[in-house]
Amino acid sequence: MNCIFCKIVNGDIPSKRVYENDKVIVINDIHPACKVHLLIISKDHIESANHLTEDNADIVKDMFMAAKEAAKLSGVSESGYRLINNCGSDGGQTINHLHIHLLGGEKLGERLL
Ligand code: AMP
Ligand code: ZN
């Protein structure tokens, strides 16, 4: 499968992992939108939030817990951060493998767009 995030998970594309457990990896976004911009990526290939089912949705808990740990490791736990999931074309999803953006390290705008 020609999926960039599967290649990163497999190690075919090398990456520095900010955090990892058996379900999730966390890496730095290659084009950071702010001072701290992490990607929380499921190890399993799930295309998007639209592809969550009763059988695979436990990953959502794993991803939020990994985000919390990565926030701590990146020093933004106390200052705060924003978690965003883009889904589909209008949502701005460009990589069709489930991931959450963690944005922080500076004061973010109050508006979402
Ligand atoms: P989205 O638009 O929500 O699908 O987010 C995809 C994100 O992946 C974008 O913010 C990209 O900058 C980021 N990205 C693309 N390729 C890489 C890569 N090789 N390593 C890290 N981040 C990447
Ligand atoms: Zn994938």
Domain ranges of the chain: 4-104
Tell me if 30 CB under 6 Å of ligand 1: yes
Rounded to whole angstroms, the maximal C-alpha distance in the chain is 39
- Tell me which of 37, 51, 97, 99 is the catalytic residue: 99
Tell me if 92 CB under 6 Å of ligand 1: yes
Q: Which atom of ligand 1 sits closest to the CA of residue 13?
A: 19
88 pLDDT tier (thresholds 50, 70, 90): very high
Q: What is the pTM of this model?
A: 0.98
pLDDT score of 51? 98
Mutate to test the pocket of ligand 1, among 4, 6, 17 (most ligand atoms within 8 A of CB): 4
Q: Does domain 4-104 have CATH number 3.30.428.10?
A: yes
- Judged against a pLDDT cut of 90, whether residue 1 lies above it is answered with no
- Judged against a pLDDT cut of 90, whether residue 112 lies above it is answered with no
Backbone φ and ψ of 86, nearest 5°: -90, 130
